[in-house]
Amino acid sequence: PSSGNITIDPLKIVAEELKFLNKNIRQLLGSGHPILDTVAKYYTQSEGKHVRPLLVLLMSRATAFAAKQPRPDTPNLSDTNIDMPISSPTVLYDNNPDQTSPSSPLTETPKEARYAFPDDATILPSQRRLAEITELIHTASLLHDDVIDHSTTRRSAPSANTAFGNKMAVLAGDFMLGRASVALARLRDPEVVELLATVIANLVEGEFMQLKNTASDEKYPAWSEQTITYYLQKTYLKSASLISKSCRAAALLGQCAPSVVEAAYSYGKNLGLAFQLVDDMLDYTVSGSELGKPAGADLELGLATAPLLFAWRSRPELGQLVGRKFSGEGDVERAREIVIQSDGLEQTRALAQEYADKAIASISFFPAGEAKDGLEEMCVKVMKRRK
């Protein structure tokens, strides 16, 4: 954490690596179909926060000098594997109906398509690639999410569904997952493949849990401890799974000892939960122009998130509104009023703080250094963020 007048900027610590992120991602997304190429690369034009790649890179550096335990069945690959072309720079399907694969691993990599990374031995090329894969999976989920949520803006610009329509947005998301999977397979690490494949399934499971506020579907649900348990489980699947499992994967690629792998996972899980709790709080407290995406969207979508769930405990009349997903006349406004008057937002912040503290505690035994400071600072920043 920033102590005294020393300020820690996590972005600066891995700036060299992040500089190449967008270029490498765009390379992974190249398609011979010009429109697909445009839609797939659309969200890489606007400025994302790159939270997930940032965490993977910081975790990779922070664990570089932690305890190691080589995993016998993973070949320690050189960059050559990563360098194999994934996308073809030429037009696909051009008078060639047999061309089902855009590239063959046997073709020579054109110079301009070579994987770009700085000359720094602390972060492995496979860990850098993992950072790119996490951003691809996240962006794919946003493409789908904006369709599901009917969102019109994302990253302070028209959302992809608004700019290109639902069909193309969904397909571009699928394409991204496909390319992310190819890149993942090229890491030749089955455990890491399994982790990230599980993340994709978890994102869908979380989204499904969100469609229903509870496991049952009552008209007049009553508040119980289960309400919060269900919400936290959903939140893990929707948000913390990607962060925690990619932190774990970074440690695995770095051949870290099991205790370090577990710590990386625990850090990611707790930070991920804190991150989403704050996200759900900001939906109530910050304007859409500041967020760069619609604010107050959750209630409009019929979603009861942490601030409301905590408010509901002391204001049982919210149950009826939850039951009909705030679809009645004036429900959204009434629910918002009750939440603002209650201590729901404060309780949400307090719970987020607990998770952020747990994240910091998880990595307390990591060797001291800039990257560890950066990971700790991320926990401070998550609590302070306004977008």
In the complex, the residues that contact ligand FPP under the rule CB under 6 A are: 137, 140-141, 144-145, 148-149, 151, 177, 200, 203-204, 207, 238-239, 293, 297
Nearer to Mg ion, 149 or 189 (CB): 149
Are the CB atoms for 62 and 363 separated by under 8 Å? yes
Q: Is 279 in the site for Mg ion (CB under 5 A)?
A: no
Task: State the sign of the Cα–Cα–Cα–Cα dihedral 37, 110, 21, 64.
Answer: positive
Q: Is 280 in the site for Mg ion (CB under 5 A)?
A: no
Nearer to Mg ion, 159 or 362 (CB): 159
Q: Which does 250 bind (CB under 5 to 8 A by kind): Mg ion, ligand FPP, none?
A: none
Distance CA 328, CA 161 (A): 28
Stretch that binds Mg ion, among 83-91, 118-126, 139-147, 304-312 (CB under 5 A): 139-147
The nearest distance, CB 239 to ligand FPP, in angstroms, is 5
Q: Is 149 in the site for Mg ion (CB under 5 A)?
A: yes
The nearest distance, CB 229 to Mg ion, in angstroms, is 20
The nearest distance, CB 335 to Mg ion, in angstroms, is 18
Nearest residue to the partner Mg ion, using Cβ: 149
Nearer to ligand FPP, 288 or 369 (CB): 288
The nearest distance, CB 265 to ligand FPP, in angstroms, is 19
Q: Is 145 in the site for Mg ion (CB under 5 A)?
A: yes
The nearest distance, CB 154 to Mg ion, in angstroms, is 8
Q: How many beta carbons lie within 10 A of that of residue 116, not counting itself?
A: 13
Nearer to ligand FPP, 63 or 305 (CB): 305
The nearest distance, CB 80 to ligand FPP, in angstroms, is 29
Q: Which does 203 bind (CB under 5 to 8 A by kind): ligand FPP, Mg ion, none?
A: ligand FPP
Are the CB atoms for 357 and 383 separated by under 8 Å? no
Nearer to ligand FPP, 51 or 359 (CB): 51
Distance CA 115, CA 183 (A): 12
Rule CB under 5 A: which residues touch Mg ion? 145, 149
